[in-house]
Amino acid sequence: MLKILRVVTIILILELLVILKPEPLSADYVPYPLVANPSFQYANVQLWGYLRLGLNYLESPEPFYPPESVPPTYVHPDSKGFGAYGFSPEAYQDVQRMYTFFENYSWQYILHSQQLYELANQAFADWLLKNLQNYIPRNASQEQIFDVLHKAWNVGLSGFKKGTETVTSRARRAEEFKARLN
């Protein structure tokens, strides 16, 4: 029964992808109007527009389509990350602790709202960047900020600070992303 349900789910997802026909990636990011002018100090709207494309390129099963083409409920092969950015319940706990807006939204609620999923990921990026200021050059470009962020996104804040290296294939893929946008 479980196998039949999985097959039906996969078929439905494939049909939705054909129907929705996602547009190719664009650096023109327009934030969702869920919260009027969400003010993130480090991952502002313009920077998040770039970072989200890079994280999508590294984490998404559909890296050449907008992050919205992957539902937040998509479970990554490692069974730890969800959606286009590989967001985890543990990362969301950090977001809930640091941003009072999210206190009343459960993890399951985030997974069933594309807008909240997007906003929670932006909040997580903001929190990481706040804690990574000593690793980011003053007046850094978006590319330099992305270089630091994607590593911490992958190995965690404490892993990054301890010097844990990301795998070579991920670093190479991050360079591919930056080259695609230049």
Query: How many domains does the chain divide into?
Result: 1
pLDDT digits (tens, 9 = 90+) for 120-169: 999 999 999 999 999 999 999 999 999 999 999 999 999 999 999 988 88
Domain that holds residue 67: 2-181
The neighbour count for residue 111, using CB atoms within 10 Å, is: 21
What does the DSSP 8-state code read for residue 43?
S
C-alpha span between 64 and 21 (Å, rounded): 12
Main-chain dihedrals φ then ψ at residue 106, nearest 5 degrees = -75, 165
pLDDT digits (tens, 9 = 90+) for 93-130: 999 999 988 999 999 999 999 999 999 999 999 999 99
Q: What does pTM read for this prediction?
A: 0.79
Main-chain dihedrals φ then ψ at residue 35, nearest 5 degrees = -125, 125
Task: Using DSSP, state whether 44 is helix, strand or coil.
Answer: coil
What does the DSSP 8-state code read for residue 135?
G
